[in-house]
Amino acid sequence: MAHSLALPFWTVLPFTGLLLSIAILPLLTPRFWESNRSKGLVAGLFAAPVALYLLLAHGEAGLH
């Protein structure tokens, strides 16, 4: 692939955190987890560092 990027290892940590949140938050805070807004907030918080890194390190090509 001509457009593939070699990402650093730390970029998998937000994905791991998101999976753990999906597994643990419904058990610890079921009322918080009921709302789709809360789920979107959690997903956005985990996605933001990676998106920011891709934008800063690779410019417009990093967001495609």
pLDDT digits (tens, 9 = 90+) for 3-43: 566 777 887 899 999 999 999 999 999 999 999 999 999 99
Can you give the C-alpha Rg of the chain in angstroms? 14
How many CB atoms neighbour CB 63 within 10 A?
A: 9
Which residue reads 């979107």 in tokens? 40
Say yes or no to pLDDT of 2 above 60: no
The pLDDT score that the predictor gives to residue 8 is: 79
pTM, whole model, 2 decimals?
0.74
Residue 1, SS3 per DSSP: coil
Say yes or no to pLDDT of 63 above 80: no
**How far apart are alpha carbons 34 and 29 in whole angstroms?**
9
The pLDDT score that the predictor gives to residue 64 is: 62
Cβ neighbours of residue 49 closer than 8 Å, sequence gap 6 or more: 14
